[in-house]
Structure 1
Amino acid sequence: MDYYVSKKCEAPGEGTMEKPFATIGEAVQIARPGDKIIIGGGLYREWVNPIMGGSCDAERITYINKQGESPIISGAELVENWEKISDGVWKATIPNDIFSDYNPFADPIFGDWYDDLGQTHHTGELYMDGQAMYEAATLETLMENSSDAMGEKVYRWFAVVSEKVTELWGRFMDRNPNEHRMEVNARAYCFFPKSEGINYITVSGLTMEKAATQWAPPTAFQPGAIGTHWSKGWIIENCVIRDSKCSGISVGKRHDVKDNIWSINPEKGGAQTYTEIVFTNIKNGWSKENVGSHIVRNNEIYNCGQAGIVGNMGGAFSKITGNHIHDINVRGEFSGAEIAGIKLHCAIDTMIDDNCIHNCYRGLWLDWQAQGARVSKNAFFANTVEDLFIEVCHGPCVIDNNLFLSKINLQNVSQGSAFVHNLFTGRLNMSSDTNRFTPYHLPHDTFVGGVMVIYGGDDKVANNIYIGNCSEETGFGNCIYNGYKDINSGSFMQTDDCPMKYVNNTLPVDIHDNVYFNGARKYENEKGAVEVPDCNVKFDVSEIDGEYYLTTNLFDYDLDKKVDLITTDILGKSFESEAVYENADKTALIVEEDYAGNLRNGSKTCAGPFAQPYDKVLLKKTYKRLMFTPRAKSIL
């Protein structure tokens, strides 16, 4: 059954094309498996709270835009009737009824691993013409008009919340807020089921904006402007998610009685409380049969304070593909250990491919238990801290055919990862983590197979291209593995039953057939390495009319070297989990596609993410437009 929604009609409607519903919430009440909700253009100021999901993949409930129209679900409400208090300062008084049962201006951001940077921040936000202003620390500092504020930071707000009203004070400099569109975020979500287990929903072609989302650590309930809330089989596609206070899309954790317990009562450390939550949720039904297996594809996600996509456990067995994620935490109002374009815990058997992630605090962060995850054919550039952070994963995890183009490409605090056919143009960092015992799983399962510290090593590194900075500076290339034993030099033996006795040891590594330019250095025991002398490989990422392009002279250097096609047989299995490097469906892994999706022919190919030299490479996904073209204005 198809139901229609239109902002052009008044309630009550009938959901027909002739008499559509006026709100999406009306359609939610009657939608059943197999139904489609077709939403017309316009601004919908409501929280869409699905009460029923589909019964299976073939019988979904679908929420989709009407063809050619652009519906927007907003968490915000208009604020009018501003009163001038002094030069540059205005005040508006809002009845608290506008917030229903949740006033974000009375809700401080809080949670495990959150850093307020010395100032209380609230989930509330004030927007002028769609642009978020900055929260002042106190009303006094707002009134002072400090000369320390520069640029957009001069536009600040402060809220005074009482029982019946909320006073919003704003510094607007020489602007009159009554002449601008002023909004406050009034709802915690745009599209998010209140209940768990609302399975098999498709959301397509909608814009979601201005949600008052709370901080989303892995040890607490994880909200988002749109989220799956501990369900199975969602598809979120072709959407725009923007201006969420913390996170855009959540495929994350449910509510638990010990949410944020480390921050509330730090008798136990965060690593321990996190581990307890993993075991608790396994007992309570976290499995492939019940949770995860989502598809998040071809969305644009930007202007979020914490993460574009966030999730712990709830995103396992999922596919995140073709998304354009940018400008995450670029305002820097608050910080913490959960900030990235994509931040996932327990990304078991999750495919992350063909995404374009740039201008984020951190690009992709796989934290704890990324066992079976694959990171393939993504473009990373202009990220502040690094492109990829892999933390306390025991493997196997496959990273292939990516373009790492920021100043720092990798922070590797894991073991058992396979890095193959990538392009690395920045620094690499690596360390062990012997302070925490972290879980690993049975293959393709949520069931925990054991816990152990991260000794480091056990990585398989082959067929990559590394570009240095034409200096003696270390950190470019596989020289970061110097001091690690080669896989052929013998096994890692633990004759003592005390794991901490071996904290100064590392697992052997298998590194071969990589190519190095501009002074990037090979691993000291590497076989088949090519260090190209007297070269000056250049690369640049540019934006032209909203599209992103890569220019390089890399293909001017002819390389005759051929390398083996990477397969399950070559990679073998990871040490600690004893799990095979294979696809999520248990079939053999063959890294036969290059970055552009073209096949590598035969058992021999060339190193790097491209199967052959290209004059022009157009990436096929909706939001990625990286091509080899003439040089333009750089954004790096």
Structure 2
Amino acid sequence: MISRLWRMSAVACVAAMVLGVPQASGREIHVAKTGNDAHAGTAESPYLTIGKAAEVAQPGDIVTVHAGTYREWVKPRRGGRDETSRIVYRAAPGEEVLIKGSEQITSWAEQGGGVWMVELPNTFFGDYNPYALNISGGWLLYGQWLHRGDVYLDGEAFREQKTLDDVKRQTQTWCCRVTADKTTLWANFGKANPNTQLAEINVRECVFMPVETGLAYITVRGFHLAHSAENWQPPVIPLQKGAIGPRMGKHWIIEDCTVTNARCVGISLGQAPGVDYANIDAFGAHIVRNNVIRRCGEAGIAGQKGATRCLIVGNLIEDTNYRKEFGGWETAAIKFHESVDTVICGNLIRRVSYQNFGAFGIWMDWANQGTRISGNIVYDTQAANVFLEMNHGPILVDNNVLVGQGVRSNSEGCIFAHNLFVDCKFDMVSDLERRSQYYKPHTRIEVGRKQGIPSDDKWFSNIFVRRGLEAVKKAPGYASDWNVFLEGAKKSVFGDEHSVVDSADARFRREDGPLGVSLRFQVGQAALRLNAPWVDSQLVGVLPTVGQTIEDALGKAIRVDTDLLGKKRAAPVPGPLADPRGGEHAVHWSMGGRE
């Protein structure tokens, strides 16, 4: 048996992170529940709110927040100047800090049968009352009657109902009524007493997001962010929000956080007014790493344009749209539009759900260019594990483990290399009704627009279990070779001259953990018999539409010479492991010290 422990620090793409850059000497500002905003903000005399610290923080400062629950929308006033003068917001090491968009309610009146009621003046909500606003927007196809608020008991979100009679019939449900001067909520708490347990309702639209566009060099580290009440976030709105987001700033780092129960989007890398979208240096280049993102209604991480040059690495994203209350063509664990040179690597994505429509794992939707999807594990998505929609390449999909739903694409120039596909179909279809843009390489300068017609896609050195490429029709520029097909998976009709078909049982098994997963499988000797070439720019060639090959953001050609674990390959053996010798292989993905 070969046992392999996958730590995020071992993934090759982590080399692209900003690590080890010295922080300029600045002030350390302290925030604590024992503080006062009239204090000096020192360790001995801390502020009470993070918002106060955000008002005064200057480039190079560190805002250290001590244990407790902070019910506020943190709105940074300024950013850093460069990597050495970041403004860092961090939870004090070893302390649990929650920032919530909700308020605790302790004035519930018992109505009988487990139902309780509370009446609140509309002034309680300020200028944003989520119970007066419905979820709405483009491509939202069901659940439009729902409101943007929720009711929680001890951290569990209840289900909204249309009438009080419905609430009376079912525990863990709620409904609301808003008049000119007050908001009334009814909730069925069963045998629980909401005045003695933790009952919360949404109040704030966001939890951590500037109100000014373009702030740069901000780090957010170690917080638990919860209970934002943002609306559905389609790409047609000018300002996309989430529980947390940089509002089209530059060089943010969001790391080691937990984001839960965002009504729609957990981390928004979406567009905002006031930015020159044609200038690739004006925004983006964020790092989103080692976060736990769960129970978001629409998407874990999403946005239009703002994911450009971003690194999304080592995150656990799970239970997206777990209640299946609302949804449409924006539901995915990760969904980006119009991003350039984005890297999505080393993430664990699981359990994406729907009533109808959407529910993809990674969804690159519309005019994404230079994308790399590498070393991810994706399973239990009701729709495709990966959906590549209306892109013109290059998109490099390498060293991933995709289970159960496979790939859907109406894009061109997609390179699939060294992946393990288990029970995965490939649904390659054309979209002749729309035309999406493509850019001058490594810029956002539009060159032209084309229909979504699959072409120039390539499959090299993959392992297919039970389903192969038999359903993929030949198309211009298609190539496939040096793959291994196991347990009845079949070759393509347009290539695979050197590929191997082996009836051997891969014995693929999966064991879920609360913050990770263990995968076990066998490859046998089939992969070792292939003398495959390296998957690199020479093998792939220049893709004709965009005029570039597989390259990083600096234009350096990529060779797929590391594996899913970040280990260097001695030779380009098929599959996601550099050394697939005989016997069982075990890959363990975890969030490190948090499991």
TM norm. shorter chain > 0.5: yes
Structure 2 unaligned blocks of 5 or more: 1-26, 354-359
- Structure 1's 301 and 571: CA in aligned 2 closer, same or farther, altered over 3 A? same
Q: Which residue of 1 aligns with 2:58?
A: 32
Contact 1:355 1:624 in 2 (8 A): no
Q: Which residue of structure 2 lines up, in the alignment, with residue 512 of structure 1?
A: 481
Q: 1:558 to 1:59 in 2, by over 3 A?
A: closer
The number of residue pairs the alignment matches comes to 559
Within 2, Cα distance between the matches of 1:85 and 1:125?
A: 20
Query: Which of 460, 466, 470 is residue 479 of structure 1 equivalent to?
Result: 470
Give the aligned partner of residue 239 of structure 1: 257
CA distance in 2, matches of 1:620, 1:519: 28
**Alignment of structure 1 residues 162-561 onto 2, 5 Å:** 162-220=179-237, 221-255=239-273, 284-361=276-353, 362-405=360-403, 407-426=404-423, 427-468=425-466, 476-482=467-473, 484=474, 506-544=475-513, 546-555=515-524, 559-561=528-530
Aligned to 1:272: none
Amino acid at match of 1:341: A
5 Å-filtered alignment, 1:558-577, equals: 559-577=528-546
How many Å separate the matches in 2 of 1:351 and 1:545? 26
Does structure 1 conserve the Cα–Cα contact (< 8 Å) formed by 2:413 and 2:455?
Answer: yes
Three-state SS of the structure 2 residue aligned to 1:359 is strand
**Conserved 8 A contact 1:417-1:458:** yes
User: Residue deviations 1:509-564, cap 9 Å, x none?
Assistant: 12111110111111123143434343222212112465411122334767322311
**One-letter code of the match for 1:597?**
G
- The structure-2 alpha-carbon separation of the partners of 1:547 and 1:436, relative to structure 1 and needing over 3 Å to count, comes to closer
After TM superposition, the score normalised by the length of structure 2 is 0.90
Equivalent AA in structure 1 for residue 160 of structure 2: E
Counterpart check, 1:81 vs 2:114: no
Q: Can you list the C-alpha shifts for 1:316-342, whole angstroms capped at 9, x where unaligned?
A: 111100111111011100011011110
With over 3 angstroms needed to count, the CA separation of the structure-2 counterparts of 1:330 and 1:214, relative to structure 1, is same
Q: Which residue of 2 aligns with 1:270?
A: none
Partner of 1:135: 160
Higher RCO, Cα 8 Å, sep 6+:
2
Deviations 1:571-613 (A, max 9, x none): 1122222222212111121110001111011xx4210111112
Distance 1:425 1:290, change over 3 A: same
Asked whether the equivalents of residues 83 and 90 of structure 1 are also in contact (C-alpha less than 8 Å), the reply is: yes
Provide Cα deviations, 1:154-177, integer angstroms capped at 9, x if missing partner: 421111112332111112334333
Aligned residue identity for 2:520: T
Match in the other structure for 2:177: 160
Asked whether 1:600 is paired with 2:569, we answer yes
What does 1:55-94 align with in structure 2 at a 5 Å threshold?
55-94=81-120
Q: Residues 226 and 249 of structure 1 are in contact (CA less than 8 Å); yes or no, is this contact kept in structure 2?
A: yes
Q: Distance in 1 between matches of 2:515 and 2:76?
A: 35
Contact 2:150 2:157 in 1 (8 A): yes
Measured after TM superposition, the shift of residue 456 of structure 1 is 1.3
Normalised to the residue count of structure 1, the TM-score between the two structures is 0.85
Q: 1:545 to 1:291 in 2, by over 3 A?
A: closer
Asked if 1:124 is matched to 2:149, the reply is yes
Q: Deviations over 1:457-502 (max 9, x none)?
A: 210211001001xxxxxxx2122333x1xxxxxxxxxxxxxxxxxx
Q: Distance in 1 between matches of 2:327 and 2:454?
A: 27
Once the two structures are aligned, what percentage of the paired residues are identical? 34
Aligned-pair RMSD on alpha carbons?
2.0
Bigger CA drift: 215-224 or 86-95?
86-95
Change over 3 Å in CA distance of 1:625–1:479 after alignment to 2: farther
Residue 590 of structure 1, aligned match among 556, 559, 571: 559
Does the 8 A contact of 1:596 with 1:620 survive in 2?
no
Deviations 1:437-466 (A, max 9, x none): 111111001111100112212102110010
For residues 227 and 514 of structure 2, what CA distance do their matches in structure 1 show? 26
